[in-house]
């Protein structure tokens, strides 16, 4: 299976239900507006997210996760949509993943080679999912995949989703055509012949 087909298959799977679509759209709008100033993730946490995202969805014939700005999308979600407790646990898990990488490989996740990051991800995915840092790693992966497939470049150029079909013209002139009447007017003087009675 080609990567493009694989991406389409993943997009149609449960990963896309990780967040309500309206939240994803709102988050991407915040990223696109340029007015968002990240404050959910520290620089080190953002670097980890970028490294993990591009390891999970690297650049090939299609853009990588960070090529479409998934790390910014995740920062918006964490900053503006996560509950305080969830945000605290999520960020603590990111720090724990970085600490694990330093302990096992002597470097932060962002400084590891792609192969070393792949091994770290394998170790996180092979263990139990219901304890941290693995539990929030899976949340991170869900956000990466969901953010990727709801980004405009991927929807338009990879999945070929028509976001707005046709050309929108808000002030286009409209010509109103009158329908021809099916009842023919009665010629003057014939009203009595049609509606009256003959007298002898």
Q: How confident is the model at residue 29 (pLDDT cuts 50, 70, 90)?
A: confident
24 or 172, greater pLDDT: 24
Pick from 191, 77, 182: nearest CA to 136: 77
Distance separating alpha carbons of residues 55 and 141, to the nearest angstrom: 11
Residue 168 pLDDT: 35
Q: Which pLDDT does position 38 carry in this prediction?
A: 64
Instruction: Work out the number of other CB atoms within 10 angstroms of the CB of residue 51.
Output: 22
Q: How many other C-beta atoms are found inside a 10 Å radius of the C-beta of residue 99?
A: 13
- What pLDDT was estimated at residue 48? 97
Residue-level pLDDT at 79: 85
Tell me what the mean pLDDT of segment 26-54 comes to. 83
Q: Residue 103 — very low, low, confident or very high, per pLDDT cuts 50/70/90?
A: very high
Per-residue confidence band for 15, with pLDDT thresholds at 50, 70 and 90: very low
Q: What is the pTM of this model?
A: 0.69
Q: Name the band, by pLDDT with cuts 50, 70 and 90, for residue 16.
A: very low
What pLDDT is attached to residue 118?
93
């Amino acid at each position: 299976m080609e990567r493009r087909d694989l991406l389409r298959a993943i997009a149609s799977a449960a990963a896309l239900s990780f967040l309500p679509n309206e939240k994803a759209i709102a988050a991407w709008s915040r990223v696109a507006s340029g007015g968002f100033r990240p404050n959910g993730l520290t620089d080190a946490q953002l670097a980890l997210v970028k490294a993990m995202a591009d390891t999970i969805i690297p650049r090939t014939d299609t853009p990588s996760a960070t090529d479409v700005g998934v790390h910014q999308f995740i920062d918006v979600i964490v900053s503006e949509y996560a509950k305080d407790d969830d945000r605290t646990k999520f960020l603590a898990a990111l720090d724990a993943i970085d600490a694990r990488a330093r302990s096992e490989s002597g470097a932060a996740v962002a400084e590891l080679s792609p192969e070393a990051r792949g091994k770290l991800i394998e170790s996180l995915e092979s263990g139990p999912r219901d304890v941290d840092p693995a539990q929030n790693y899976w949340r991170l992966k869900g956000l990466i995949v969901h953010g990727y497939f709801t980004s405009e470049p991927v929807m338009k150029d990879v999945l070929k989703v028509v976001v707005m079909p046709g050309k929108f013209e808000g002030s286009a002139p409209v010509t109103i055509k009158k329908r021809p009447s099916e009842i023919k007017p009665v010629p003057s003087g014939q009203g009595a012949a049609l509606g009256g009675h003959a007298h002898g």
